[in-house]
């Protein structure tokens, strides 16, 4: 299993570096989205900063993650089906896409912090929420990409399915982020973090359980 995971992650890395225009388009989207926000709103802060930050991260992640299965043709998928464990395939996608979303989030956070007033008071809790949110976003969009890959209109189905299913993850994530704007105790965040972690575990668990059935289909 571990050997397959390493090989599959390396394969995804090679695919992205062979098609640098895809990754370049994602990062260009992040840069352009930020500068549109900056030119439109100027020096933002507080709740507006949190809202715009997560909008940029969310839509940047959509463009990056939803191509994870779409970029592989049917013959290649059949080949992977013959030599790979479907759980290993899904785990490799989840890991790779989580790192990709974390990179997008780090870039967005750097841009927002350098060129606007950084309003977050509780950095530790905010970074923890950011990491859990990235895992949840990556898991959500990865599984949606796997489902949409079995339909004729892949891109349309991806957009239809992706945004509604992300709402249960965004609600606790934004609540935590807003609370981190001012000094706060762990007891005030514990229930939100518990919910966020539960949503992450549910997304990953459902993906690993159901993906083998999609894979065989």
Contact 54, 104 (CB under 8 A): no
Tokens of 207: 């993906």
Contacts of 19 (CB under 8 A, 6+ apart): 71
73, pLDDT greater than 90: no
Find tokens 């001012």 and name the residue: 182
157: phi > 0 → left, psi -120 to 50 → alpha, else beta; which?
alpha
Contacts of 105 (CB under 8 A, 6+ apart): 57, 130, 133, 134
The CB density around residue 155, as the number of other CB atoms within 10 Å, is 12
DSSP state of 85: -
- Minimum mean pLDDT among 31-35, 37-41, 113-117, 118-122: which range? 37-41
Q: Would you state the pLDDT for residue 217?
A: 63
124 sits in which H/E element: helix 123-148
- pLDDT per residue as tens digits for the range 196-217: 999 999 999 999 998 888 776 6
Is the pTM value of this prediction over 0.85? yes
Find tokens 């949190």 and name the residue: 50
Find tokens 């991806």 and name the residue: 158
């Amino acid at each position: 299993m571990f050997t397959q995971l390493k090989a599959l992650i390396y394969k995804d890395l090679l695919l992205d570096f062979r098609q640098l225009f895809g990754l370049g388009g994602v990062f260009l989207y992040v840069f352009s989205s930020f500068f549109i926000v900056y030119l439109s709103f100027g020096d933002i802060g507080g709740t507006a900063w949190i809202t715009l930050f997560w909008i940029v991260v969310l839509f940047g992640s959509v463009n990056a993650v939803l191509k994870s299965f779409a970029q592989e043709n049917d013959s290649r998928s059949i080949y992977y089906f013959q030599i790979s464990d479907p759980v290993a395939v899904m785990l490799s996608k989840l890991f790779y896409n989580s790192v990709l979303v974390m990179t997008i989030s780090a870039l967005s956070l750097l841009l927002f912090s350098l060129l606007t007033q950084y309003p977050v008071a509780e950095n530790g809790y905010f970074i923890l929420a950011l990491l859990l949110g990235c895992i949840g976003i990556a898991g959500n969009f990865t599984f949606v990409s796997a489902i949409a890959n079995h339909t004729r209109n892949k891109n349309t189905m991806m957009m239809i399915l992706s945004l509604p299913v992300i709402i249960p993850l965004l609600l606790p994530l934004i609540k935590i982020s807003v609370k981190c704007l001012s000094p706060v105790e762990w007891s005030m965040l514990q229930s939100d973090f518990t919910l966020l972690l539960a949503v992450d575990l549910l997304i990953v668990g459902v993906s690993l359980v159901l993906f083998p059935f999609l894979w065989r289909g």
